[in-house]
Structure 1
Amino acid sequence: MFHPILKRKFEYVTNYFETAIKNEKRSFAQSIVLYGQDIAAQYYLAMEIARQLNCMKDADPACDCLNCSWIRNNQHPAVLTVSKNDNKPSDDTSSKVISIKQTLMINNSLINSSDYYRVFIFCDSEIGEMNEFEKKHIQDFGGLNFKFPQENWIPKPLNRDVLIEASANSLLKSIEEPPERTLFLFLTEDKEDIIETIISRSQSFYVPSFNAQSYDTEFLTAALADYPAIKKINVINTAAVLLEAMQEHDYKVEYVLDCMEFYLAQMIKRNLNNKMLVQKIKKDISKIQHAKKQAQAYIKPQLIIEDLLFSFAF
């Protein structure tokens, strides 16, 4: 049985796997895409799926069998996180992508049989200090007792710049004809961020944000009233409104950037038929990611906000 922390929030996905796992044939897709804004939730859900598949007892949330202990400590030999920072061959010098060397290593590993249920979790990641919002969000999952692959490791969504086409295509045969007891999991914000050849061979599940109410978007409504048509001549005034709201609510710039990302993501959902607008919003969300890196570099919040809004404007 899935841990109550996940079962309460992700009832559809957890019920799907619980039903399939109880079936002796375990008849479920062997390539699955989890998508949505909450990548941390997706990662913990993926780890719990791996634990369910490998548990040596009854898959109880408190099980302390060897496999469950290994997975909680992120040390299981058959449950691998695959990112630009994780599980690379010793001769792989790439640092910005999931490389062909990584995917070929996976393909080669599948030639041999395994006593375990092999689970490959594909995501992006960063090594660095979490902001306050990220730290608080991770605490929501504390009861699961899952460790990340590395210290200062932060899960991030896959996109085509990380899971590049050549690497993705090298996985296709393994995804099409996987050995028994093998599961591929891809974690992303939007299915369009993964090449179609992977999506068409996978079953997709939307994973809602675990704690969406943590995002305060009301204070953004006035500041971003002109978005997406912000004019450069108005940027300084718009930034001043946003900075004043930040001060009033005592919000740190990292949290404000998270709220802006969530705010724009919701705008995408409301405008799915407007492809040009969706394309612009996605580009602006990537600019927010750049602003987050500026925040980690201790650049002044005013400069970060003004720079970001200028990048939005025309």
Structure 2
Amino acid sequence: MTTDTGKPGSNTSLAQRARAIRRNALLMGEVQGQGYIGQALGAADLLAVSYFHAMDYRPGDPEWEGRDRFYLSIGHYAIALYAAMIEAGILPEDEIATYGMDDSRLPMSGMASYTPGMEITGGSLGHGLGIAVGAAMGLKRKGSDRFVYNLLSDGELGEGSTWEAVMSATQWKLDNLIAIVDFNNQQADGPTRDALAQTPEAPKWEAFGWHAQEVDGNDMDALVQAFDTARTLKDAKPRVIICNTRMCKGIPFLEEREITHFVRVEPEEWQKALAIHDANKPA
């Protein structure tokens, strides 16, 4: 199994990191009894690779100038990013119990002014990639070799502003920009592919001048390879990794639900979900 490279606890496998991210998210969901748990469970693997394989950062100094930036375009995925940042040591574990409460640093939608390590305030959807383009341009003008990672959703591919940002990134040859698309085929009103005519995604991005890869977003080895390719590519072009993920990954009785965009779970079901999660420990 792939392991961390140069991060705290480097003998911990990426699968173990992803498992911890899922557990953190479930515990936060239990606090409110509801939330965007499906997205957090589905995106845990790509977040583990981002924070424990690909990115450079200092847990105790979220504003360190030499860091890679992780921009969460999809603000309602905040629970997923909090879960990853808690595992990374950027946020303390004891704040899990405050999730979504008044005066908490972990509001239900991500806000940069509240949360250390939250680079931008995400949502309304479709704006994150444009912000990432500006940041990537700024880093280049400062002579920085750092990457900007931007996590966006499949639903944001229906936003015109996203494609304006795509074209801008190509125009400015932003080879320090890596977009990550969480393609879980689920929106508030139903399947993404039913909401707008989605064609195969990688060829579309390639037509706009990006280097595009499409992978199973819950396959750790495939993710590691895709991130490594994106980081080491010599071409002067932006990069995108389209990650096909499964909502509520790892909790079968939640995976089977027809509607998983916003999950409401009965109190006793949280303990059932945690028990299932804890029984499936990776090596």
Does the pair score TM above 0.5? no
Greater Rg over alpha carbons, structure: 1
Structure 2-normalised TM-score?
A: 0.34
Q: Which has the higher helix share?
A: 1
Structure 1-normalised TM-score?
A: 0.32
